[in-house]
Structure 1
Amino acid sequence: MKKSLKVWSALIFFLFLFPIILEQIPSETLEEVEVVVPLNNRQLVYATNIFEPEPQIQQGMRALLFATHSHEAFEPITQQYDGKIAVSHPEANIMKLNETIKSQLEFNGIATEILDVDTSSIMNQKGIPYNKSYDVVRPYVQKSLEEIDYDIVIDIHRDSLKADRTTLTYEGEKYAKIVFVIGGEHNNFKLNQELAERLTAELEQIVPGITRPLVFKAGHGVDGKYNQDLDPRLILIEMGGIGNNEAELNRTSAVLARAVSKVLQKDEE
């Protein structure tokens, strides 16, 4: 009888202490834990410092990126790179931005390739003048288009304007503004223009004010085509200007990739 009483007493004592013990055990929910993952694991940020897991690339959505003016650079980035303020640089240039855009497009489910050609280096080596840049890059773009049917082809540039005209502050964050350039001297330019206008609408839905008015170029003194005659899905984007920094360009890259994904998904539907 005494042994039975001791057992019951011990059980009652344990049940009394159990809630107190539970309170001492640390508990964390998924929402309470902030996990920061290095960029080299290809987990990407959308305009913040919170990283999200990379989704699977969706079948049938493919993009090609290239830079006709491959050495175009941003002054804050070149200064950070080697202490020199420059608008053209053989290493810290627009081609690095293409790598960021590629990562963001893939984060949004679009298989993306970068055209592996440094146009400016080729021109410097052969003594080709700057105004022939679109002619130099053209055969490389043409070859890629013959091999793969891309959903979108983007030629990335930066504007020569200063930061006060190419920067937007929205909800406390700064973004590099985007402008689309359309060459009007070919028969199908309206198709390129239509795609640029659809992207503009999506970009404005995500971050109002992030785009500048579309630039239409034709006539004496301009290229007039910008290789857009090669494909109705080829667009030329000027992202920011010489004074935009890496953080601003990264935020805009994320917004651009999201807008591209939305447009392409609507095309599939």
Structure 2
Amino acid sequence: MLRKAKKIISIACILTFVLPIISYSIDKEEFLKFLIESSYPEASTNNDNSKEEKDKEDKTANNKEKDYIKVHIGEENVPTLNNKSDNKENISVASSEYKNDIRLTKEDPTMLIYHSHAGETYSDSPEGNYHSQNNRDKSVLEVGTLLTEQLSQKGWGVAHSTKYHDYPDFTKSYASSLETVKSMLNNHKNINIAIDLHRDGRDLNTDADMQKENERMTTTYNGEKVAKFFFVVGMKNTNVDEVQELAEDITKFAQSKYPELVLPIVKKQYGKFNQYMAKNHMLIEIGSNGTSSDEAKASVKYVAEILDEYFKQNR
């Protein structure tokens, strides 16, 4: 009891006297780093690459940074593509093809598509600050469903997970998706390409903000307005050189085919995003909350073409 009392007194002293001194004696950037490292062990700047640290969730979570918006998750819905969309590339996929939130286009897939933030929706679904499970046809899940279909038509065996990893706790999204990735890799040994598919998120408070973001994240090909895409690299991965090299190679390849379609790579200094798990692991952002779901879906045929040609040339 005496030991516990001493410990409590010590903590109280730290909270009362030391923390105020720390907060005033270091600049804002250093204090922010202190808070991140204290709250999210994954983000520590210490060079600790132990197995336990490697298996932890990337708790930095993009919603902690200014350019990522807050979330609200609604109730879950059944996965299906909306075949009433004006997008002619839309392909209807029956919900019966998904068992336990997984669809396999071949018995022995080599590619995995999943969504750490499955609740992300586009500009035509503003519910919950562009995060919901109620408008699935206007969400990143439908973009993943379409990408799965496009790649499977090109001969790829694809496993697509439609699990909501950001529900009920958004801050545990990457811990939850890590378990999905581990399970899929254990059950399907030939998967060596993994795609965590997202859409970018910005604070859009006015119509002018929305218009500016739409202009930033769209272009036109063959008379059709399409959403741009880009790669995100977590710089805390032990294999960061390989992750970055892959993103740079595909970006360069995409620029050679569709120069206006792909944006520069975004590097997150305190992130891992589970990118150490697969040989070829990518975090791809297609469109943003400033683009419509149809604009995002319209770009899928180009993204599928790029990925198909790149990996067939670099097997």
Give me the TM-score of the superposition, normalised by structure 2: 0.59
User: Which amino acid letter does the alignment assign opposite residue 254 of structure 1?
Assistant: K
CA distance in 2, matches of 1:111, 1:89: 29
Q: For residue 122 of structure 2, what is the aligned residue in structure 1?
A: 74
Distance 1:116 1:89, change over 3 A: closer
The alpha carbon displacement at 1:260 in A equals: 0.9
- Taking the TM superposition and a 5 Å limit, the aligned residue runs for 1:109-148 are 109-121=155-167, 124=168, 128=169, 130-148=170-188
RMSD value, Cα? 2.7
- 2:266 maps to 1:266: no
| CA distance in structure 2 between the partners assigned to 1:247 and 1:95 by the alignment | 13
Mapped partners of 1:239, 1:38: distance in 2: 16
Structure 2, unpaired ranges of 5+: 1-87, 95-104, 203-212
1:163 and 1:197 mapped to 2: Cα distance?
Answer: 24
Native 8 Å contact 2:192 2:278 kept in 1: no
Q: Is the 8 A contact 2:144 2:197 kept in 1?
A: yes
8 Å CA contact 1:176–1:252 kept in 2: the answer is yes
- 1:157 has 2:198 as partner: yes
- 2:133 is aligned to 90
Paired residues of 1:73 and 1:89 also in contact (CA < 8 A): yes
CA–CA distance in 2 between the matches of 1:248 and 1:192?
Answer: 27
For residue 238 of structure 1, the aligned residue among 278, 285, 301 is 285
Q: Deviation per CA, 1:11-61, whole angstroms, max 9, x where unpaired?
A: xxxxxxxxxxxxxxxxxxxxxxxxx9993489xxxxxxxxxxxxxx99987
In 2, Cα distance between equivalents of 1:225 and 1:258: 27
Shift of 1:206: 2.6
Output one character per residue of 1:40-94: Cα deviation in whole Å (capped at 9) or x when no partner.
489xxxxxxxxxxxxxx99987211000011010021x26xxxx58501113221
Provide the residue aligned with 1:65 in structure 2. Answer: 113
Other structure's SS at 2:236 match: coil
What is the aligned partner in structure 2 of residue 202 from structure 1? 253
Distance in 2 of aligned mates of 1:143 and 1:118: 15
SS in 1 for 2:276: helix
Deviation at 1:225, TM superposition (A): 0.4
Which amino acid in the other structure matches residue 145 of structure 1? Answer: L
1:175 counterpart letter in structure 2: V
Could you give the per-residue CA deviations for residues 70-129 of structure 1, whole angstroms, max 9, x where no partner exists?
Answer: 1010021x26xxxx58501113221121101101111222111112422133xx2xxx3x
CA contact (8 A) 1:154 1:235 kept: yes
TM-score, normalised by the number of residues in structure 1: 0.68
Write the distance in 2 (CA, Å) between the matches of 1:85 and 1:134: 20
Superposition deviation, residue 218 in structure 1: 1.3
Which residue number corresponds to residue 39 of structure 1?
91
Spell out structure 1 runs of 4+ moving beyond 3 A: 36-42, 57-61
Mark the CA change 1:114 to 1:59 in structure 2 (over 3 Å): closer, same or farther: closer
Alignment partner of 1:211 out of 259, 262, 268: 262
Instruction: Name the CA distance, whole Å, in 2 between partners of 1:136 and 1:173.
Output: 36
Q: Which amino acid aligns with 1:99?
A: T
1:212 to 1:69, Cα distance in 2 relative to 1, 3 A: same
> Could you tell me whether the CA contact under 8 Å between 1:119 and 1:133 is conserved in 2?
yes
- Aligned-residue sequence identity (percent) comes to 25
* Structure 1: gaps of 5 or more residues: 1-35, 43-56
Q: One-letter code of the match for 1:205?
A: S
For residue 155 of structure 2, give the secondary structure of its aligned residue in structure 1: coil
Decide which structure has the larger Cα Rg and report it: 1
Q: In structure 2, what is the Cα distance between the partners aligned to 1:151 and 1:257?
A: 17
2:230 is the counterpart of 1:179: yes
